[in-house]
Structure 1
Amino acid sequence: MDSTGSDRNKGNPRMLAASWAPLSPAERAVAIEVLTHGPVSRSEIARKLNLSAGSLTRLTKPLIESGLLVEDPAPAPPAVRDPSPTVRIPPPAIRQGRPSQPLDIVADSRFFAGFKITEDTAYGVVTSLRSEVVAARALPLRTREPADVADLLHAMTGDFAAAFPRLAGIGVGLGGHVVGPGRAVTSPFLGWEGAPFADLLEHRAGLPVVVENDVAALVESEAWFGAGRGLDRFVVLTIGAGVGYGLVIGGQLVRSGDDGRGIGRRWIIDPQGPLTPDGDRGSAVSLLSIPSIRYQVAAATGRNHTYDEILALAATGDPPAARVIGEAARALGTVVAQIANFAMPQKILLAGEGVGLVTVAEPAIHAAIAANRHPLAEPVALETKISDFNDWARGAAVLAIKTLVLGGAKP
């Protein structure tokens, strides 16, 4: 998929990125409402945000003039067919005054690059303002040195910008702890300690850059455009290379200084559980992460298997694989129950490369949930989504949209 847009949107990318900033808190609230729910009527926006018609008009005028929002033509009333030759239905009354035109986001007025960096690969996507992926690419890392990774992402961004001249910003997600919008990044997966990665990439690309923990970026994406849209309390739990957790309350991701520190390594599920190279004995990481599951099966069999092979072996009843996957299933059910007991979310989204576990061991997972919940507790609304690395990269692009366009910089 490709789009180049009109000439009026071409030019200096830094100027394009800054053309909407800054939005006032009230303007930002209106823009978010339209972005996540549009096209939406003015009356609905005013009702949700408790605004008068006059206030809404004042707030939307600069957003429309900047090209961020557009007034959709009011839909024509449907034609009415006579039910019989002898019955006439009068035409609808003509409405006096200017009709209320619904507001919508101009989705292709800007594009954003999002990247997910793993231990060996950079995955990149381009999204519209509505987070629709319109291009994707993946390249192997040459080295894990921050400057080399910045060079690689700069080259990928250049390719994206050639096809999408209205590229307005870059979001990067990776496993680790991030201070500020990516000015100091510590990542055990990449061997970084306080790397100024946002500055490195911004200097090369000439575009604003936001770097964030990959789980936080995925949670923001799902809260705005995915499984958590419109929910007040929402949780994302990820299993893959590690275990990630994000909590949304009141539509906002709950932040703390511990973000990206690897909570799953010390989240003890079974003190007598397996001891693996990653995580404490019986921790969520030791029981649920893909590397730990592969390690346990290899230790039992003397052979290395991929995660998918282990799931297939467990499904056929292979004893070592079935034992490890059974323990993982019970651990996952316990973790889900603990989250439901204490965070009381309306929904828990289980995502990541490891969620194939649910397909193989769903009954054991639900049995463990039930065993760790009150008998009269409400059923847990558990949704599963197999996320590939492009989904993680899309989450980083959404974070760039939120931060760079709508002024939602992280604290």
Structure 2
Amino acid sequence: MLLTRKDFPEGFTFGTATSSYQIEGHKFGGAGRTHWDDFADTPGNVVRAENGDVACDHYHRYAEDLDLVAAAGFDAYRFSISWARVLPEGRGEVNAEGLDFYDRLTDAMLERGLKPYATLYHWELPSALADLGGWRNRDIAQWFGDFTEVVMSKLGDRMETVAPINEPWCVAWLSHFLGGQAPGLRDIRAATRAMHHVLLAHGRSIEVMRGLGMSNLGGVFNLEWSEPADSSEEAYQAAARYDGIYNRWFMGGVFKGEYPQIVLDGLEPHMPTNWQDDMALISQPIDWCGINYYTRKLITADKSPWPSLKEVDGILPKTYMGWEIYPEGLLNFLERTAREYTGELPIFVTENGMAAHDDIVAGEVQDEHRIAYIEAHLADVRRAIARGVPVKGYFCWSLLDNYEWSFGYDKRFGLVHVDFDTLARLPKASYHALKGALTEGQS
């Protein structure tokens, strides 16, 4: 890599990220059933009907994996906590073995000089709560607050940062309107309730952690840069609706205490009664903003019901996910977020990376494509900093090849190759390139 740690401000945090269900092995340690287990057991939902039962077996191999994080020179490790591992029924009795796992994991990070960046929810809702309506049920805000208190009463004193929920758009819209992830619904009323309740749960979780005396709390948003596919007014308005649903709804709720009217035009008839009364809790102050960024989308209008839009295939090079490689979108979002939402608050790029079809050849994985992707996005992070945006860190997604949700084990995002038969780890060329960039000149 041409860029190194020296090209970024002193104290800039470099890290890598994972999530619990994608790597831990959910059948281990007394974890309860999740709606992802249910989703994967439903024919047609997941490639080869694969699930997270074993995943990368991080539950047993976490020391080896954290050694890889530390050896690469990363400063921090972003991880998530499985709700169903700690509370198998989502409420009630605590699974001591599960909570102890995260206690040991935290200590193992600190022993290696890694700062723990925790996320409380990365999509694996306990099935018992899904049975009660899950994110459609307003009570989930309190359930999530109770889960937050159980976990952070145990771990909170050792966390560098905590964010309640990873990627609320995926939790709500992708999963309840587009049907692409668990629980796999395609229902505008369900999606609308989830869009609101996921932010209400975020606010309740922040409130609980403040009550525990915690600080350095943030929110993590996945953003896709939307552009009209042509010069028509219809395409422009469709791209604006996409931007409103994907990006502005969640940031507007948290940072402004308001939802964009362009989205309320379609969703307000389905909103909970007196939803406006919740906005003070949703928008209470947080200490930093996390942006997960991967791609842009070209949008045009169509004649389907609201939001009356569709994606158009772009001409830029694409990752194995079929996503265009568009680093400029990250620069655009960093500048817009500071300008319109967060002001002087620290911003972190909490996820950025690419899927590829990475094969082992002669004992190595030469993923120069990933090196180029990461370096191009880091270059735009550097440009944003030069323009005065307070970007304080960058996290690669992901440390390991892992369970990529509805794509099963087919899409590899990792800096480290995982053989899903033997579970052997093999650092890729991208891992070694980042290691060189982060440790250059260090003893």
TM-score calculated relative to the size of structure 2: 0.28
Larger radius of gyration: 1
TM-score calculated relative to the size of structure 1: 0.29
